[in-house]
Homo-oligomer: A and B are copies of this chain.
Amino acid sequence: MGTEPRQGDLNEGGDGDAPFVADYLLFLLASTSAAASAEFHAVVRAEGLRVREWRVLACLHDEDGQMTTRLAELALMEQSRLTRIIDQMHTSGLVERRSDAEDRRRVRVFLTERGAAVAANMIEKARAHEAALIARLPGASGETLKRLLKRVHAELVDGE
């Protein structure tokens, strides 16, 4: 006994040289995202939704009737994956497809009445969870982080 690794936090020391993971931006982003999301994802599943369905609902709430490709980008998944998620969400009565009159290659996805209700309900829960989460961070870290993430995200996506 005594050789137990610590729980939770990212490692500090290394074998001999500098630790890498704990100071690597992409790991910090991924693990913070995972840790922060874990709690709410439990709520999502408890509501009978999968994480990706929740993402689709949230994106459509912001702008209903988006085309498949764009929706896949926003909801952070592959196009072919979204196609099948939409199938299932259609089956469970959350969304419907309508082909675009201007360009018949396009399929636009709309919330059903029930889908809109579920979306609104979940967004309320998400806002509450976010507020609670930010509340337990020191000072204004939460808001600062959001501001920073928006800037970085914008730079990564539009810039270059």
Tell me the A residues contacting B by CB distance below 8 Å.
1, 3, 5, 7-11, 13-15, 19-37, 40, 55, 58-59, 61-64, 66-67, 70, 73-74, 76, 102, 123, 126-127, 130, 133-134, 136-138, 141-142, 144-146, 148-160
Asked if A22 contacts B133 (CB within 8 A), the reply is: no
User: How distant is the Cα of A3 from the Cα of B106 in the complex, in angstroms?
Assistant: 13
What is the distance, in angstroms, from A145's C-beta to the closest C-beta of chain B? 5
Number of copies of this kind of chain in the complex: 2
Set B10, B36, B70, B154: member contacting A25, Cβ < 8 A:
B36
Pairs across A and B, CB under 8 Å, 26 listed: A1-B102, A7-B158, A8-B157, A10-B74, A11-B63, A13-B63, A20-B62, A21-B58, A21-B59, A24-B126, A25-B36, A25-B134, A26-B33, A26-B130, A28-B149, A28-B150, A32-B149, A32-B156, A35-B156, A35-B157, A36-B156, A133-B156, A137-B151, A137-B152, A137-B155, A141-B152
Within 8 Å CB of A22, what residues of B? 62, 150
- Cβ-defined contact, A157 with B9, below 8 A: yes
Contact A76 B34 (CB under 8 A): yes
A56 to B21, CA, bound (A): 10
